[in-house]
């Protein structure tokens, strides 16, 4: 569960970023909006902050992301390399939007990243 107090919305890009640490060494980053070139640098900066940097296992919940471009994809690949260097990995929660899934499918990153279905509210 993301603490609403941790959710930040970038003034420049409109990307919302929520961070939770449900267990030691595991961080859940919940994104909303457009994960594109406009948002990429803000997200990289957030991932470099002390509460996330160096965490070996990161789950990016992309369910509420409605657009991803190659620059957004690059941030996830960059973070994957960092996590794997720390003995962990990046796992993605699948976007609800077909538009957002398109870039993963066309680059075959849907087969490179471990992608989880969305959580059901029941």
Partner 1 sequence: MTASADPTELVIEGTTAMVRKIGPWLHGVLGELPDDEAGAIAARLELAVHEVAMNIIDHAGLPVAAEIRFSAGITDSVVEICVTDPGLPFDPAGVRIPVAGVPQERGYGLMLVRKLVNDLDYRRVDAGNRWTLRVNRTPPADSQKTGNEHQP
Where does this chain bind partner 1 (CB under 8 A)? 12, 34, 36-38, 67, 69-71, 73-74, 77-78, 80-81, 98-99, 102-103, 105-109, 111-112
**Structure token digits, residue 95:** 């976007």
- Exposed/middle/buried for 35, CB within 10 Å: 0-12, 13-18, 19+? buried
Least Å from the CB of residue 106 to partner 1: 5
Whether 8 and 46 have beta carbons less than 8 Å apart is answered as yes
Nearer to partner 1, 46 or 80 (CB): 80
Least Å from the CB of residue 51 to partner 1: 23
Nearer to partner 1, 98 or 122 (CB): 98
Whether 113 and 91 have beta carbons less than 8 Å apart is answered as yes
Name 84's Cβ contacts closer than 8 Å, sequence gap at least 6.
Answer: none
Nearer to partner 1, 8 or 105 (CB): 105
């Amino acid at each position: 569960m993301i603490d609403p107090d941790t959710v930040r919305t970038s003034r420049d890009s409109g990307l919302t970023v929520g961070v939770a640490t449900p267990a030691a060494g595991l961080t859940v980053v919940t994104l909303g909006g457009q994960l594109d070139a406009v948002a990429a640098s803000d997200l990289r900066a957030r991932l470099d902050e002390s509460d996330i940097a160096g965490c070996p296992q990161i789950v990016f919940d992309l369910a509420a992301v409605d657009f991803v471009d190659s620059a957004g994809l690059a941030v996830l690949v960059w973070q994957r390399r960092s996590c794997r260097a720390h003995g962990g990995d990046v796992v993605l929660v699948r976007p609800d939007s077909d538009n957002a899934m398109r870039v993963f499918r066309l680059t075959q990153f849907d087969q490179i990243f471990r992608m989880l279905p969305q959580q059901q509210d029941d």
